[in-house]
Amino acid sequence: DGGITQSPKYLFRKEGQNVTLSCEQNLNHDAMYWYRQDPGQGLRLIYYSQIVNDFQKGDIAEGYSVSREKKESFPLTVTSAQKNPTAFYLCASSIDLRGWSYGYTFGSGTRLTVV
Amino acid sequence: KNEVEQSPQNLTAQEGEFITINCSYSVGISALHWLQQHPGGGIVSLFMLSSGKKKHGRLIATINIQEKHSSLHITASHPRDSAVYICAVRSYTDKLIFGTGTRLQVFP
């Protein structure tokens, strides 16, 4: 079955460490997205990519970095510059940026905690 | 004021009850999505609407573009419907804007 796989499900980070969250899709979707979810807030867009080797900053990109070397993969690195990284991170994909035509597919998320 | 507002924030119901969750938005949109987030965190897309009404099983979603309002209805609710329901709109600039969600608990 096609879908999005996020790993790990739970991740603990020490102060000053960079950590990388994995997102893989086998849906042949061009567009991929990273969102952050905090309690009481709607999902906020961190980065998005509409094609391999191209990505754009979202609303809260500071302290994060991404790469898109393969169509299937869109890893997110939470750097030490992100001051408040504890959150739930969701990866999503759509056929293209105008995903409203066909909808979005979401992963199961990664919960990152700073210890 | 958020561009996408959902009500209520929390909702409890007895099994079998008819449930309505509301979503109001203040921007021009090309589509509206209803999403379901289970306790584990994964999100499932339920509906995508640009006009009218859609039905899938016990779920019905409606949208009134003129009033900038959408509703999600659940008929004959069941404990397995317990989840957070999220409304998201796609603006004319292709930006997806999310509501904060409605937490639904259905008790047997």
- Look at residue A100 and tell me whether its pLDDT is greater than 70: no
Q: What is the average pLDDT across A2-27?
A: 92
Of the candidates B19, B32, B3, A39, the residue with the CA atom closest to the CA atom of residue B11: B19
CA distance B85 to chain A (A): 11
In B, what residues contact A, Cβ < 8 A? 2, 4, 30-31, 33, 35, 40-45, 48, 50, 86, 88, 90, 94-101
**For B66-82, how does the pLDDT look when each residue is reduced to its tens digit (9 = 90+)?**
999 999 999 999 999 99
Residues of B in contact with A105 (CB under 8 A): 45
- Look at residue A97 and tell me whether its pLDDT is greater than 80: no
A91 close to A72: Cβ distance less than 8 angstroms: no
Rounded-to-integer distance, Cα A19 and Cα A14, Å: 9
Check if A58 contacts B (Cβ < 8 Å): no
A16 by Cβ neighbours in 10 Å (0-12 / 13-18 / 19+) ranks as exposed
Phi and psi for B39 in degrees, rounded to 5? Answer: -55, -30
Q: Is B81 helix (H, G, I), strand (E, B) or coil?
A: helix
State the pLDDT at residue A99. 59
- Look at residue B15 and tell me whether its pLDDT is greater than 90: yes
Rounded-to-integer distance, Cα A36 and Cα B50, Å: 26
State the pLDDT at residue A98. 67
Of the candidates A87, A90, A85, A102, the residue with the CA atom closest to the CA atom of residue A29: A102
Which of A28-32, A75-79, B70-74, B90-94 shows the lowest per-residue confidence on average (mean pLDDT)? Answer: B90-94
Rounded-to-integer distance, Cα A66 and Cα A12, Å: 19
Q: What is the average pLDDT across A83-110?
A: 85
